[in-house]
């Protein structure tokens, strides 16, 4: 419930056009940061909404309490024992505390705390008006908005993502007197730059969206996105053609953040450009011009495109022809490069890669190709021995398209054009697909390599990049990751899980570092451990994303972080066991074994039934011996739920052992034999996880 006399706030910052990709993070930050600040300031509100468009960022708050509540604050000082001397006079500690709080000694209280009696001062802090609090925090929040790049304008006194032109800030119907980037707040916003450029007076968040919609500005992202989609479909319908636009979600989002009121038109290009590979013309449209390609009713590329504009001109045919001229120039360039590229085979381009720098500390792309080819053969020997020749061929051609004109013009087509050129030169489908798939996945949740050679090549390429960067001290720090090493590490993990590869990361990280050889700027062992820690962090994040509890993930990764597939399998099996009735009792049994091993230390000794006197210890030896014989079969097949069931079945013989057997026997030989038996029992537990890390234990 809002307090009586609750206030509403509307805040809008008007700027020159902001890059489309900047909106999402900025709007989320604005909402999160203001929520946090108001919480710390003890200023309640009932609702918040954020809006944005190419020329504005805005926020509405409703139900703001007009006054911050009063609070009683207790400030703890020195302990009473050190506050007064033997005759009752205040010590320097007491005097200093009183002076620091601005009160006489007589104004100090004694407060009983869990640590004993302490001096304290109790203050009544009167609440401040909401306007004073908002005026204090809003300019700082605006200045701290996270943008990848900022700029200065005018005399260079101010910096922001783009020059600021107006500031709307109204609280309870009155202007809140704040300033930002040299602009004083008012009640004035502005409509569409061309269709309604005049001032728009806005006094509350309830009228914000409606008043700007009347001025041809859609400030709600979802409404603007729906309007973009609606306009695209309308442009198709109005053309009386049986066409289907290709609506990539990322492009729809981007275009929605480029316009204030979308207007779409259907354009056409010459059919001669249909001879280009489809990805080339699509990239020219989507990435360079933000156009939407179109298909016919048979799923073939049609010589049309849809362009979304930010304004409706008097003569939209003139606008259409302008788009068509621009696209034609792009497609002509692409066609020229494509024809020229095909004159030089990929194999003849290999030496040209010596002139293309991968990284100044890691050599050229020719050097990288040689390293990846060697590492890929190591992987193929274990994972795809029958395809080693295919993988060798693909690895030698994998980067050659970086020297082609099309890829220089359209960098996102690397790999795509390598596949296209390889097929046109008569290479096998497997080789061509591997060249394309070396880059997969290209984003979180993106497609993984569909072919075995492509998966091997992708892992080898990413391993070389990650290990090379760690070896020359280029691993990510904080949020900065310019070479996308985190994404590449996760890509390796996801490929291994998808392919059900049980390989050891340590093995192949070690091989990659040895292939790097003299390029390493740090000891190989140090680089190895650093790289494995890097992978473990990515693997842990992925395991947690699968619904595994943090303690379960930690228990498994402590022992098996080098094995992505079996780590996930073990963690899932453990998580399912934790959900069963009776797990707490089972956990206590495991805990008892673990604690005894910790107390006395592990003991290694050959054991036979004649070493024991009691039936309980003989029975436990028999059970663990049988399970030891079967355990590796479960591990090799990845049957961890079944293995865990067998381990859980040890609860009864272990409990019986503890009921009937004194481990700390006066006879040292018997004591050590019993500890050795428990050591072997704990080793069976460790086939799944380090159970000491499970919080239930």
Do residues 668 and 586 both lie within one domain? yes
Q: DSSP string of 487-530?
A: HHHHHHHHHHHHHT----HHHHHHHHHHHHGGG-SS-HHHHHHH
pLDDT tens digits, one per residue of 388-445 = 999 999 999 999 999 999 999 999 999 999 999 999 999 999 999 999 999 999 988 8
Query: How many angstroms separate the Cα of 129 from the Cα of each of 66, 126, 135, 228?
Result: 6, 10, 10, 43
The pair of three-digit structure tokens given for residue 186, joined into one six-digit string? 């008012």
Q: What is the C-alpha to C-alpha distance for residues 504 and 565, in angstroms, rounded to an integer? A: 9
Do residues 357 and 501 both lie within one domain? yes
Detail the DSSP E strand segments found in 127-246.
151-153, 158-160, 164-171, 174-175, 179-180, 183-184, 188-190, 199-201, 244-245
Do residues 202 and 249 both lie within one domain? no
User: Is residue 428 one of the residues assigned to a domain?
Assistant: yes
What's the mean pLDDT when you consider all of the chain? 93
The pair of three-digit structure tokens given for residue 454, joined into one six-digit string? 């492509």
Is the pLDDT at 1 greater than 50, yes or no?
A: no
Q: Which of 89, 106, 125 is the last residue of a domain?
A: 125
Higher pLDDT, 693 or 266: 266
Phi, psi of 548 (to 5 degrees): -80, 140
Contact 365, 372 (CB under 8 A): no
Do residues 102 and 137 both lie within one domain? no
Widest Cα–Cα separation across the chain: 104
pLDDT bucket at 697, cuts 50 / 70 / 90: very low
Q: Is 388 helix (H, G, I), strand (E, B) or coil?
A: helix
Rg over CA atoms, the chain: 34
pLDDT for 341 equals 97
Phi, psi of 50 (to 5 degrees): -115, 150
Q: What is the mean pLDDT of residues 210-214?
A: 96
pLDDT bucket at 3, cuts 50 / 70 / 90: low
User: Is residue 235 one of the residues assigned to a domain?
Assistant: yes
User: Is residue 558 one of the residues assigned to a domain?
Assistant: no
Helices then strands, each counted (H, E), the chain: 25, 20
User: Is residue 551 one of the residues assigned to a domain?
Assistant: no
> Which CATH number do you get for residue 139?
3.30.70
Do residues 459 and 443 both lie within one domain? yes
Q: What is the mean pLDDT of residues 267-271?
A: 96
Q: What is the C-alpha to C-alpha distance for residues 437 and 499, in angstroms, rounded to an integer? A: 14
Is the pLDDT at 81 greater than 90, yes or no?
A: no
Do residues 46 and 170 both lie within one domain? yes
Q: Which of 109, 125, 141 is the last residue of a domain?
A: 125
Closest by Cα among 232, 248, 629, 210 to 412: 248
- 104: domain range? 75-125
pLDDT bucket at 296, cuts 50 / 70 / 90: very high
Closest by Cα among 598, 618, 601 to 609: 618
Contact 457, 391 (CB under 8 A): yes
Helix (H) or strand (E) run with residue 327 in it: helix 316-341
Segment of 68-72, 591-595, 638-642 carrying the highest mean pLDDT: 638-642
Is the pLDDT at 532 greater than 90, yes or no?
A: yes
Contact 92, 30 (CB under 8 A): no
- 3-state SS string for 601-617: CCCCCCCCHHHCCCHHH
Query: How many angstroms separate the Cα of 399 from the Cα of each of 410, 439, 582?
Result: 15, 11, 56
Q: What is the C-alpha to C-alpha distance for residues 697 and 555, in angstroms, rounded to an integer? A: 11
- For the chain, how are helix, strand and coil distributed in percent, rounded to 5? 55, 15, 30
- Range of weakest confidence among 266-270, 361-365, 447-451, 642-646: 642-646
Q: What is the C-alpha to C-alpha distance for residues 18 and 212, in angstroms, rounded to an integer? A: 18
Do residues 23 and 37 both lie within one domain? yes
Do residues 413 and 316 both lie within one domain? no
Closest by Cα among 253, 96, 63 to 172: 63
Helix (H) or strand (E) run with residue 422 in it: helix 416-424
> Which CATH number do you get for residue 397?
1.10.3210
pLDDT bucket at 4, cuts 50 / 70 / 90: low
User: Is residue 557 one of the residues assigned to a domain?
Assistant: no
Phi, psi of 626 (to 5 degrees): -65, -45
Query: How many angstroms separate the Cα of 229 from the Cα of each of 23, 45, 156, 262?
Result: 19, 35, 40, 9
Contact 389, 436 (CB under 8 A): no
Do residues 234 and 317 both lie within one domain? yes
Do residues 24 and 171 both lie within one domain? yes
User: Is residue 193 one of the residues assigned to a domain?
Assistant: yes
Give the long-range contacts of residues 590-595, CB within 8 A, separation 24 or more: 590/685, 590/691, 590/697, 591/691, 591/692, 591/697, 592/654, 592/658, 593/654, 593/678, 593/681, 593/682, 593/685, 594/682, 594/685, 594/691, 594/692, 594/697
Q: What is the C-alpha to C-alpha distance for residues 199 and 629, in angstroms, rounded to an integer? A: 83
Closest by Cα among 582, 575, 552 to 641: 575
- Range of weakest confidence among 10-19, 451-460, 523-532, 576-585: 576-585
Q: What is the C-alpha to C-alpha distance for residues 313 and 322, in angstroms, rounded to an integer? A: 12
User: Is residue 552 one of the residues assigned to a domain?
Assistant: no
Do residues 315 and 381 both lie within one domain? no
Higher pLDDT, 227 or 106: 227
Q: What is the C-alpha to C-alpha distance for residues 221 and 284, in angstroms, rounded to an integer? A: 26
> Which CATH number do you get for residue 675?
1.10.730
- Close Cβ partners of 244 (under 8 Å, ≥ 6 residues apart): 236, 294, 295, 296, 297
- Residue found under tokens 């010589």: 303
Phi, psi of 267 (to 5 degrees): -110, 170
pLDDT tens digits, one per residue of 158-209 = 899 999 999 999 999 999 999 999 999 999 999 999 999 999 999 999 999 9
Q: Which of 199, 214, 229 is the last residue of a domain?
A: 214
Q: Is 64 helix (H, G, I), strand (E, B) or coil?
A: strand
User: Is residue 566 one of the residues assigned to a domain?
Assistant: no
Do residues 111 and 144 both lie within one domain? no
Contact 253, 226 (CB under 8 A): no
Phi, psi of 621 (to 5 degrees): -60, -40
Count of the separate structural domains present in the chain:
5
Task: Report how far apart the first and last C-alpha atoms of the chain are (Å, whole number).
Answer: 45
Strand partners, 50: 59
The pair of three-digit structure tokens given for residue 564, joined into one six-digit string? 């992505």
């Amino acid at each position: 419930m809002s307090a009586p006399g609750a206030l509403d706030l509307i805040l809008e910052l008007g700027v020159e056009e902001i890059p489309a990709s900047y909106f999402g993070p900025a709007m989320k930050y604005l909402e999160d940061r203001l929520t946090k600040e108001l919480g710390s300031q003890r200023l309640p509100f009932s609702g918040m909404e954020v809006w944005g468009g190419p020329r504005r960022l805005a926020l509405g708050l409703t139900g703001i309490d007009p006054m911050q509540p009063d609070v009683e604050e207790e400030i703890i000082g020195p302990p009473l024992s050190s506050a007064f001397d033997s005759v009752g006079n205040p010590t320097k500690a007491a005097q200093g505390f009183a002076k620091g709080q601005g009160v006489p000694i007589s104004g100090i209280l004694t407060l009983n705390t869990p640590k004993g009696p302490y001096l304290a001062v109790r203050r009544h802090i009167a609440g401040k008006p909401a306007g004073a609090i908002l005026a204090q925090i809003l300019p700082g929040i605006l200045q701290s908005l996270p943008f990848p790049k900022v700029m200065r304008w005018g005399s260079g006194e101010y910096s922001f993502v783009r020059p600021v032109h107006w500031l709307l800030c109204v609280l309870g119907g009155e202007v809140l007197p704040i300033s930002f980037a040299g602009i004083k707040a008012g009640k004035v916003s502005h409509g569409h730059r061309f269709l309604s450029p005049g001032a728009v007076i806005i006094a509350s968040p309830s009228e914000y969206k409606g008043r700007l919609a009347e001025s041809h500005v859609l400030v709600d992202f979802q409404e603007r996105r729906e309007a973009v989609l609606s306009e695209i479909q309308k442009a198709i319908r109005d053309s009386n053609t049986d066409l289907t636009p290709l609506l990539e979600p990322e492009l729809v989002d981007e275009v929605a953040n480029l316009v204030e009121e979308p207007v779409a038109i259907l354009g056409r290009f010459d059919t001669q450009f249909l001879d280009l590979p489809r990805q080339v013309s699509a990239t020219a449209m989507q990435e360079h011009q933000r156009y939407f390609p179109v298909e016919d009713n048979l799923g073939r590329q049609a010589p049309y495109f849809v362009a979304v504009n930010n304004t409706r001109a008097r003569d939209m045919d003139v606008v259409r022809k302008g788009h068509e001229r621009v696209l034609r120039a792009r497609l002509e360039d692409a066609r020229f490069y494509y024809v020229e590229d095909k004159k030089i085979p990929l194999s003849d381009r290999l030496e040209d890669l010596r002139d293309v720098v991968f990284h100044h500390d890691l050599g050229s792309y020719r050097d990288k190709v040689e390293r990846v080819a060697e590492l890929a053969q190591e992987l193929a020997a274990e994972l795809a021995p029958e395809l080693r020749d295919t993988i060798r061929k693909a690895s030698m051609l994998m980067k050659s398209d970086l020297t082609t004109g099309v890829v220089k013009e359209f960098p996102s087509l690397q790999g795509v054009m390598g596949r296209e050129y390889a097929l046109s030169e008569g290479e096998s489908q497997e080789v061509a697909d591997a060249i394309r798939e070396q880059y997969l996945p290209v984003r979180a949740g993106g497609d993984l390599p569909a072919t075995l050679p492509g998966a091997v090549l992708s892992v080898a390429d990413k391993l070389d990049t990650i290990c090379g960067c760690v070896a020359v001290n280029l691993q990510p720090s904080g949020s900065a990751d310019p070479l996308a090493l985190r994404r590449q590490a996760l890509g390796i993990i996801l490929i291994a899980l998808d392919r059900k590869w049980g390989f050891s990361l340590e093995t192949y990280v070690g091989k990659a570092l040895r292939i790097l050889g003299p390029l390493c700027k740090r000891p190989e062992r140090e680089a190895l451990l650093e790289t494995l820690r890097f992978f473990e962090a990515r693997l842990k994040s992925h395991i947690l994303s699968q619904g595994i509890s943090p303690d379960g993930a930690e228990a498994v990764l402590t022992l098996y972080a080098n094995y992505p597939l079996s780590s996930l399998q073990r963690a899932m099996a453990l998580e399912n066991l934790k959900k069963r009735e009776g797990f707490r009792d089972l956990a206590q049994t495991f805990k008892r074994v673990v604690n005894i091993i910790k107390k006395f230390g592990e003991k290694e000794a050959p054991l036979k039934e004649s070493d024991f006197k009691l039936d309980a210890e003989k029975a436990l030896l028999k059970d663990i011996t049988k399970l030891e014989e079967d355990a590796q079969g479960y591990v090799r097949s990845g049957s961890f739920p079944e293995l865990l069931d067998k381990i859980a079945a040890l609860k009864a013989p272990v409990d019986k052992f503890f009921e009937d057997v004194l481990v700390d026997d006066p006879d040292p030989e018997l004591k050590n034999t019993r500890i050795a038996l428990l050591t072997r029992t704990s080793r069976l537990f460790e086939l799944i996880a380090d159970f000491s890390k499970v919080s239930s234990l």
